[in-house]
Amino acid sequence: MTTHLPRPGSHSWSIVRRLTVWYVGSAFGLIVLATSVLYGALVSNLDREDDQFLADIIHIVQAFLRDRPDDTAGLKRAVEWEWASRQYAQVLVRILDENGQAIVESPDMSAVLAPAVFPPAIGIEGEPGSGAEIEGLSGSSYRVLTAHAPVGVSGSERRTIQVALNQAHELKLLGDYRRRLAWVLSIALVLCTTVGHAIARRAVRPVQEIAEAAKRVRSSTLGSRIDTATLPSEVAALAETFNTMLQRLQESFDRLSQFSADIAHELRTPVNNLRGEAEVALSKLRSPNEYQEILGSLLEESQRLSRIIDGLLFMARAETPQVHIARETLSVAQELSVVRDFYEPAATEVGVTLSVSASADLQVVVDRTLFQRAVGNLVANALTHTPSGGHASIEAVEDHRALQVAVRDTGRGIPPEHLPHVFDRFYRVDRSRSTTSGGLGLGLPLVQSIMRLHQGSVDIESRPGAGTCVYLRFPVHPLAESASAGGV
């Protein structure tokens, strides 16, 4: 069998890597684009300049042919000496008659550029168009231009002028330029990568800090927090979430520690009692009556112990979310009267009247035992804390899609400073009473666990001297709706 857990590092790119790639991609891309555009502009400017230069020469030759049509010697001198002797930007000129025969041409011109390789004259009659690039027989590249020119003022005859500019020098210049650009671009690439990587690392640094802080958390360091003041806002939110998580963990952890201490404390008293009584009993020989009495007392203490353990076990089970409760549709009035019947004798004994009010058609979908236990615990509390002549009542009403069961008494109430704690395990308002009168401080926490299991809630109101009221709210379960609608 194979597992499909992602191995760290193998499943995706790190943020630093992604950011670096994006940064290098965009920054270097822009640099390359800008450089290419500038290089293109340079090349086309050079070409235009060359064309203008060639056009100038054509204009000169045209003027010569127009003004001095018979001065072939003068033309020859200009063509063969003046222009051909240029060292950089070497110019070649050829003048053809109407039959295509060369009249004048620069020395050695036919060795590199035959008349036929020139493009035909384009553009307006007499005006040079734009130049073309051709390769001469010697292998070097030439910018060439062709134009017609009328001879003399009458213009009865026509010559063709072919001019070529050797571009070797220019190409070498561009080559140098390209090499330099390549250098600049390579350095830019290295710089972009380094800078991008540094920026990306800086950006994710706070996240790494949080991760490291998370790694350092131990049960003993739950009190530590990440300082969010120095963090950028996006990460501060994450750190705050992390801090609140720590806060919650710390609270649960503290509660658990306190709870363990409480359990140890609560178990110690009955166990000590058991031991003490047994030791006293064994210290000398006793009559059967005495043994019976001592055994009865031992039994009482062990019962108390098992009640504590049962309660704790039940609550521990109720805390696990997947615990299953056996819900059934019940008549509320019927269940409450069962509870009343159970507590009636005790109520009579302490001189408290006990009443139930619930309409007969009220239904609820709950676990029967747990429902009775929750209400029963509240009634037991009411009876314990209500003096003789008082009254306790159980009232059930349907309210905002929930069933509300209120257990009310006219007893001595709970002082406000104790009220927030009465749902804590082992909490008792009157601690001194606890060991003798059997209050474990687990009644209300049990009720709360039961309500949690039913996705319900419990609330308490109390006024010292006036009485106490505890409200249980059971949300209407889908089953109850279908039951009341379809009569299932």
Ligand X SMILES: Nc1ncnc2c1ncn2[C@@H]1O[C@H](COP(=O)(O)OP(=O)(O)O)[C@@H](O)[C@H]1O
Extract the runs of DSSP E, i.e. beta strands, from 368-456.
391-399, 402-409
449 binding Mg ion? (CB under 5 A): no
Q: Select the residue interacting with Mg ion from 381, 410, 448, 468 (CB under 5 A).
A: 381
Stretch that binds ligand X, among 70-78, 136-144, 151-159, 441-449 (CB under 6 A): 441-449
| Closer to Mg ion by Cβ: residue 96 or 469 | 469
Tokens in use for 387? 């003096």
The alpha carbon of 23 is separated from its chain's Cα centroid by a whole number of angstroms, namely 21
Q: Are residues 32 and 141 in contact, defined by beta-carbon separation less than 8 angstroms?
A: no
Q: Does 439 bind ligand X (CB under 6 A)?
A: yes
By CB under 6 A, residue 429 contacts ligand X: yes
Would you count residue 121 as binding ligand X (CB under 6 A)?
Answer: no
Tokens 């802080």 found at: 213
By CB under 6 A, is residue 468 in contact with ligand X? yes
The residue range among 91-99, 274-282, 435-443, 450-458 that interacts with ligand X, by the rule CB under 6 A, is 435-443
Residue number, 166 or 468, with CB nearest to Mg ion: 468
Q: Report the residue number whose CB is nearest to Mg ion.
A: 443
Query: Which residue shows structure tokens 């020098």?
Result: 169
Among 270, 376, 443, 456, binds ligand X (CB under 6 A): 443
Question: Least distance (Å) from Mg ion to the CB of residue 377?
Answer: 6
Q: At what angle do helices 443-453 and 368-384 cross, to 10 degrees?
A: 150
Cβ-closest position to ligand X: 443
Torsion angle of C-alpha atoms 74, 76, 77, 81, degrees rounded to 10: 160
Distance CA(169)–CA(140), nearest Å, equals 10
Least distance to Mg ion, CB of residue 288, Å: 36
Q: How near is the Cβ of 428 to ligand X at its closest, in Å?
A: 4
Residue 253 binding ligand X, by CB under 6 A: no
Q: Which residue has the tokens 């940064």?
A: 23
Q: Which residue in the set 414, 453, 458, 472 belongs to the binding site for ligand X (CB under 6 A)? A: 414
Rank residues 196 and 443 by Cβ distance to Mg ion and give the closer one.
443
**Is 311 among the residues that bind ligand X (CB under 6 A)?**
no
Rank residues 430 and 459 by Cβ distance to ligand X and give the closer one: 430
Helix, strand or coil for residue 219? helix
State CA 56 to chain mean position distance.
69
The answer to the question of residue 445 lying near Mg ion (CB under 5 A) is no
Strands 391-399 and 402-409, by their bridges, are antiparallel
The contacts found for 64-72 with CB under 8 angstroms, 24 or more apart, are 65/95, 65/149, 65/150, 65/151, 65/152, 65/159, 66/149, 66/150, 66/151, 66/152, 66/153, 66/155, 69/151, 69/152, 72/103, 72/104
Separation between Cα atoms, residue 410 and residue 394, nearest integer Å: 12
C-alpha triplet 447, 246, 16: angle, nearest 5°? 140
User: Between residues 127 and 300, which has the closer beta carbon with respect to Mg ion?
Assistant: 300
Among 443, 445, 456, 467, binds Mg ion (CB under 5 A): 443
Give the CA diameter of the chain. 165
Q: Which one of Mg ion, ligand X, none interacts with residue 414, CB within 5 to 8 A by kind? A: ligand X
Q: Which residues pair with 112 in a beta bridge?
A: none
- 360-399 mask for ligand X (x: CB under 6 A)? ---------------------xx--x--------------
Pairing status of strand 157-166 against strand 327-331: unpaired
Which residues bind to Mg ion, rule: CB under 5 A?
Answer: 381, 443
Which residues bind to ligand X, rule: CB under 6 A?
Answer: 381-382, 385, 409, 411-414, 422, 427-430, 439-445, 468
